[in-house]
Structure 1
Amino acid sequence: MTALKRLFGEGFRVFFLAAGLFAVLAMAVWQLYLTIQALGGVMQLPTAAPPQLWHAHEMIFGYASAALGGFLLTAVPNWTGAKSAPHLFIAVVAGFWLAGRIAVLASGSLPPVLVAVADLSFVPVLAAKLLAQLLKRPKPQQLIILAILTVYWIANLLVHLEWIGLTSDTVWSGLRGGLLTLAAMIMVLGGRVTPGFTRNAMVQSGREDRLPWNPMPLAGFSIAAAITLPLGYLLGLPEGLLGLLALVAGAAGLIRVVLWRGLWTRDKPILWSLHLSYAINAAGLVALGLANLGQGSEIAALHLLGIGGVGGMTLAVMSRASLGHTGRALVAPGPVALAYALVPLAALARFAGSAIPSLYTPGVLTAGALWLLAFLLYVVALWQVFWGPRQPRKPAGRPPA
């Protein structure tokens, strides 16, 4: 099998590589723009929307959609026993994703309807395949993923409707709704894999007590509030109500992560990265709730969610899945473990940049530099994993990472 055919042979390969490369390239453009601005210069981007909107949109609907696509194309067949997507489908849907990125970047010279069609095509094609796989063994807790994915697509649609000129005030609600849909996805999927992977590692190490506790009533409470929150933004609910929803979702998420015995994972980066990013996501929801109630910066809270929550969790999941599904030991390579630590630092720097006006420029530039380094380390360290053959299975008795 050629390396190119192998790349499109499994969803995680092409999409996790694309997510990493895009995280580097898109942030490099944004960093260059900010640096030139800080030096008093002017940089023009070929986008129809202002550069800050391009940056926000492409992090939420560009980078994150690639990470989601790779995860769902890999996880759903495992959940249901359905046949994995064939090479051709993966190549075609990856082409839809790439067409969206090119169209949004070049939107200044393209008809806005064409840009919208190019960017909005990826998720429905992906969702149709996932629906077919999920219906093989339908379960409500898995079908809810498609409902969240639908809200995510609607949020992007609202952005494009304003860019087309059909609405006048839906860009920011769409961007916030999209980001908070990703935060809700972390509450659902992160709340499933983090305690599950931790429990498995503990049991395999011989530990039989004080395992992660994940009470379903608390999980349902946190997930319900988290899913309702982006809907509230898209529907234009009052800020006070949105603040209460965010506080409930975030506080419940923080209680959940405390019950998962995260301290046990302190010498296992492949695990603590999941715990830490889930906790930051929950803390970001709390910060957003407080901001909506008049306490703190909303922009700071949104970046805590976007960088530390979404960025951290996707990096942790993409690296773990790539190693595991290619037969490699579940041990984060040194550069990837360093990347796990850099992303929360980037979130902290960006939070400080918004929360403390005097730190805005150094905070934003530092955050961008840390993000760039983290994802560059990820791409370089796992390059051969994405392109190379699957490794032989390890003996069953080998201790876990």
Structure 2
Amino acid sequence: MPPADRTRGEPAPSRDRVPTTMQRMRAWRGPALLSFGFRPFFLIGGAYAATVVLVWLLVLTGAMASPGDWPPLAWHAHELVFGFVPAVVAGFLLTAVPNWTGRLPVVGWPLLGLVAVWLAGRLAVAAAGLLPGALVAALATAFPVTLAVFLGREILAGRNWRNLPVLGAVILLGIAQALFHAELLQGGAPVRGDRLGIAITVFLITLIGGRIVPSFTTNWLKRREPGALPVPFNRFDAFVVAGGALGLLLWAVLPMAPGPTRAAGLILVAGGALQLVRQARWQPWRTGPEALVWVLHLAYGFVPLGFLLSGAGVLRADFGLEMAGLHAWAAGAIGLMTLAVMTRATRGHTGHALTAPPATVAVYLAVALAALLRIAAALAPGWSVPLLTLAGIGWCAGFLGFVLLYGPMLIRPRA
């Protein structure tokens, strides 16, 4: 979680580690962009999210060919799930780890090197067809491997065992990407790798988002409104997260099964219902006055929606419902939650007030609307072309808006 909002119960940095962190930060005399992990990765992540969907719209309309020689849908899925998402995850975790362990994993030139590894993967995918497929796979998967090494070193050195599941999820994300490439190299559609990547990211949202959403809500309510506070993470939450992980795993492996299974559909529907109960305990209806808080609840709301739609699609063998569920997770939960976290962390760590100005609210609404339109396109195939176009425009507007509004904060020293 972002250091600006430490959750009660998180271990305080040990005194023997703080000087190392501060010395490394003070020793850096280069660009502010390389002074903390969230700065470069949030900037390139937001810009790339808009770029990928803009290119996808141009490909759909026939205005340009898909980069590389991959099928257009494979390129689109890979670069969002394994390009955009890992960049934001890296920015978040490289910033959160000091809060968890009292250590700073990477700043300055090593941070630039990590960014270069990410960029190499994007260039390799764009040059697919000109490079051997195995080389493209190696360059593309090098980033999650390198990120896992950095994070693992810090978590293990800080003895921060409670966050080992986060490290495990990063490793699994790299495995999902490797599976994606293996399916492509074998001449098949990379459905299993794509689904597994989405499932792992949604799991991270239920795990980490399930801690920061009630925590940030509690912090805001304590300052603004009297009354009961959101229920903190407890055994019920752990049960819901574990049940959700099972449902996501079953959803990810469904393409390998001979057909939809009733048990998987029921588990997904039950998981969605439990996620709704879990979120209701966080009192989202009380966060209306502050967009920086309610957007977290709105983004998390797409998690149970994805479970319910996917479960209904499996039970009814309805491809449209399944695709609606997939995009509730991909465009809604992942897209809006990453945007919410990027804006909040950027404001907090660059010395700006933790409140969302009207322009930021417009950015949130653009991506939320894009997610709803993308879900609608799956449910109403007859209107898919205009709905997809409008959804793409909304997505691009939202993430481009983030770059324009928050880019200057990310490249300048703390206010």
TM > 0.5 fold call: yes
- Contact preservation (8 Å) 2:215, 2:232: no
Deviations 1:265-286 (A, max 9, x none): 1120100010000011221122
Q: CA deviation at 1:247?
A: 2.3
Offset at residue 292 of structure 1 (A): 1.4
The structure 2 residue matched to 1:187, chosen from 191, 202, 206, is: 206
Indicate the residue corresponding to 1:31 in structure 2.
57
- Letter aligned with residue 52 of structure 2: A
Q: Match for 2:406 among 382, 389, 394?
A: 382
Matches of 1:151 and 1:234, distance apart in 2: 14
Rounded to whole Å, the distance in 1 between the matches of 2:249 and 2:281 is 28
Partner of 2:331 in structure 1?
A: 307
* 1:6 lines up with 2:61 in the alignment: no
Deviations 1:198-248 (A, max 9, x none): 1011112363x3111145222112211232344432584663243233223
Structure 1 equivalent of residue 138 of structure 2: 117
In the alignment, the residues of structure 2 paired with residue 291 and residue 139 of structure 1 have an alpha-carbon distance, to the nearest angstrom, of: 40
Residue 12 of structure 2 is matched in structure 1 by none
Label 1:228 to 1:151 Cα distance change in 2 as closer, same or farther (>3 A).
farther
Query: Does the CA contact (< 8 Å) of 1:4 and 1:387 recur in 2?
Result: no
Hey, what does 1:44 align to over in structure 2? 65
CA distance in 2, matches of 1:226, 1:123: 23
Report Cα offsets for 1:65-85 as digits up to 9, x if no partner: 111000000001111111341
CA contact (8 A) 1:178 1:230 kept: no
State which of 55, 65, 70 in structure 1 corresponds to 2:76: 55
Matched, 1:220 2:238: yes
Which residue of 1 is the match for residue 367 of structure 2?
343
SS of residue in 1 equivalent to 2:353: coil
Report the residue type matching 2:32 in the other structure.
R
Structure 1: distance between partners of 2:323 and 2:156: 39
Residue equivalent to 1:297? 321
SS, match of residue 35 in structure 2: coil
Structure 2: which 5+ runs fail to align? 1-25
**Structure 1 residue 318: Cα displacement:** 0.6
Aligned pairs for 1:101-112 within 5 A: 101-112=122-133
Pairs within 5 Å for 1:136-151? 136-151=157-172
Bigger CA drift: 257-266 or 65-74?
257-266
Q: Per-residue displacement from partner, 1:248-307 (whole Å, max 9, x unpaired)?
A: 332221111111111221120100010000011221122111111125521121111111
Alignment of 1:142-291 (within 5 A): 142-165=163-186, 169=188, 171-205=190-224, 207=226, 209-214=227-232, 216-232=234-250, 233-234=252-253, 236=256, 239-240=260-261, 241-291=263-313
Comparing 168-177 with 376-385, greater Cα deviation is found at 168-177
Could you say which residue in structure 2 is the equivalent of 1:371?
395
Letter in 1 for 2:83: G
Residue 44 of structure 2 corresponds to residue 18 of structure 1 = yes
Query: What is the count of residue pairs matched by the alignment?
Result: 383
Return the alpha-carbon distance in structure 1 between the equivalents of residues 124 and 267 of structure 2: 35
Q: Which amino acid aligns with 1:35?
A: T
Contact kept? 1:61, 1:178, Cα under 8 Å: yes
Aligned 8 A contact 1:35 1:365 in 2: no
RMSD: 2.0
Counterpart residue number, 1:66: 87
CA positional deviation for 1:322: 0.6
Deviation at 1:3, TM superposition (A): 9.7
User: What TM-score, normalized by structure 1, do the two folds share?
Assistant: 0.91
| Counterpart in the other structure of 1:395 | none
1:76-110 Cα deviation digits (max 9, x unpaired): 11111113412122111111111111111221221
Change (3 A) 1:259 1:380: same
TM-score, normalised via structure 2 length: 0.88
Question: For the residues of structure 2 that align with 1:44 and 1:347, how far apart are their CA atoms?
Answer: 25
Report the Cα distance in structure 2 between the residues aligned to 1:16 and 1:258, rounded to whole angstroms. 30
Unaligned runs of 5+ in 1: 37-41, 392-401
Q: Secondary structure at the match of 2:66?
A: coil
Q: Is the partner of 1:303 in helix, strand or coil?
A: helix
Counterpart residue identity of residue 217, structure 1: R
Aligned match of 1:78 in 96, 99, 102? Answer: 99
Q: Percent identity?
A: 36
SS in 1 for 2:282: coil
Equivalent AA in structure 1 for residue 214 of structure 2: P
Distance in 2 of aligned mates of 1:269 and 1:176: 31
| Contact in 2 for aligned 1:183/1:226 (Cα 8 Å) | no
